[in-house]
Amino acid sequence: MRYVFTLILLMSATLAGAADWEDQQVFNPGDGRQVLRVISNTDTSVFLPILEGYLAKNPDVSIAYFVASSQEVYERFRNAPEQFDLVISSAMDLQLKLVNDGFAQRVENVPHPSWAQWRESLFGFTREPAAIVINRDAFSGLAIPRSRQELIEILRAHPDRFRARAGTYDIRQSGLGYLFATQDARASETYWRLMEVMGSLQARLYCCSGDMIDDLASGKLAVSYNVLESYVSARTDIPETIQVILPSDFPTTMMRTVFVAREAPSFQQAIDFVKYLSATTLRGPDLDRFALPALGMGANLGAQSTITLDPGLMIFLDDLKRRTFIAEWENAVIQ
């Protein structure tokens, strides 16, 4: 922690305007040091071990780390691409679109599995499943649901118990929530039936995983759908009764991705960072620092279980498709 300084940045006046960030920190600051500017939707605390690992190897670099929601990461970067070196986000679709639209530069000769990269530019470095998270207290006397279908049946059978106590992403606000929703809808009609049931129970809608977990912990929520399993496991401040269920019918697993901005001022450091990240998540010596589910874990699951990095991801970013999808979703959820 010795090179970690939490500062209110003076630089923020020039950096991305005076935008207000969820968090912004500079690690290992120093005069004349090359600054690696990272824009990310990953909480600083979760990503900190990786930043420290990199800085331990590159002590003459300082890192400015900016946190925003995935949708904001997309928009802020797209509006000022020259102000950032690295872009990290869990919204695979938005990341892929940025790369497709030419905002990334290639990082050649990274020994990264082909299913976890696109155009040698976009590299997936985690495998994080979306989960059903429940507070067991609310399920006393009930069977624990193991799949979406079972969850639908339980919710239908006990509408009074779950009214206003089921939560999920507001896909209009959360890029990750939208990605999970579209991928679920692609995979099965069950998603729509679940949304209808949740809608009929006046489900609560959230912008972020964190808030959802807070409400689960406090007992305000009994169940939430499509929460990132990794965020739950990372939390130490939640009661025992919180249980994570990976739905057995079909998994929806996201890869957190990173790319180097095309006009990155510190592109050399950014490239080094990507290589470090790739090596670490695969089987690097710093793997124990990795607070996120690494790619190398359970590698035999391979590509099938994750959302594929292919141009199809851009489909639901189309204005018409998005409009149609959200209309349909609102129809189901907001009643």
Partner 1 sequence: MITLIGGAAILTVVLFLVVRSFSAQIAQQSQDNVLGASARSILDAAVIRDGQVEVDFPYASFSMLSTPSDDRIFYVIYQDDKVLSGYHDLPLPTLLDDPDTKFLTNSYLDETVRQAVVSRQLVGAGLRTRITVSVAQTQENFAGTLARISRNALIFGAGFFCLSLLLALWTTSATIGPLRRLANSVAQRGPKDLRPIAKPVPSEMAPLVSSLNTLMGRLGQSLNQSEEFIAEAAHRVRTPLATVRSHAEATLHRVDKEDNRNALKAMIRAIDESSRAAGQLLDHAMITFRADHLERHEVDFAALVDDVIDRLNPIAEMKDVEFTTRGDRPIIVSGDPILLQNAVRNLIDNALKYSPSESEIAVELRAAPSPRLILQDQGPGFVPEEIETLSMRFTRGRNAQGTVGSGLGLAIAQDVAMAHGGALVLENRKEEGACVTFSL
Binding site for partner 1 (CB under 8 A): 99-102, 118-120, 186, 308, 310-315, 318-321, 324
User: Using an 8 Å Cβ cutoff, are 7 and 26 in contact?
Assistant: yes
User: Using an 8 Å Cβ cutoff, are 91 and 179 in contact?
Assistant: yes
The three-point CA angle 153-158-159 to 5° equals 105
In the bound state with partner 1, the residue whose beta carbon lies nearer, of 10 and 320, is 320
Q: How many CB atoms lie within 10 A of CB 285?
A: 9
Q: How far is the CB of 70 from partner 1 (least distance, A)?
A: 20
In the bound state with partner 1, the residue whose beta carbon lies nearer, of 35 and 195, is 195
Please give the span between the terminal C-alpha atoms of the chain, in angstroms, as a whole number. 49
Rounded Cα gap, residues 288 and 268, in angstroms: 26
In the bound state with partner 1, the residue whose beta carbon lies nearer, of 97 and 235, is 97
User: Using an 8 Å Cβ cutoff, are 2 and 29 in contact?
Assistant: no
In the bound state with partner 1, the residue whose beta carbon lies nearer, of 20 and 319, is 319
User: CB within 8 A of 119, min separation 6: which ones?
Assistant: 99, 104, 106
In the bound state with partner 1, the residue whose beta carbon lies nearer, of 91 and 292, is 91
Q: How far is the CB of 259 from partner 1 (least distance, A)?
A: 12
Q: How far is the CB of 308 from partner 1 (least distance, A)?
A: 7
Rounded Cα gap, residues 21 and 9, in angstroms: 11
Residue 22 token pair: 């969820």
In the bound state with partner 1, the residue whose beta carbon lies nearer, of 47 and 118, is 118
Q: How far is the CB of 182 from partner 1 (least distance, A)?
A: 9
What region does 236 belong to: left with phi over 0, alpha with psi -120 to 50, or beta? alpha
* Dihedral sign for Cα atoms in the order 106, 88, 290, 179: negative
In the bound state with partner 1, the residue whose beta carbon lies nearer, of 143 and 320, is 320
Q: How far is the CB of 307 from partner 1 (least distance, A)?
A: 11
φ, ψ (nearest 5 deg) of residue 52: -65, -40
Q: How far is the CB of 323 from partner 1 (least distance, A)?
A: 8
In the bound state with partner 1, the residue whose beta carbon lies nearer, of 57 and 119, is 119
Rounded Cα gap, residues 146 and 54, in angstroms: 39
Q: How far is the CB of 184 from partner 1 (least distance, A)?
A: 13
User: Using an 8 Å Cβ cutoff, are 3 and 60 in contact?
Assistant: no
φ, ψ (nearest 5 deg) of residue 333: -90, -40
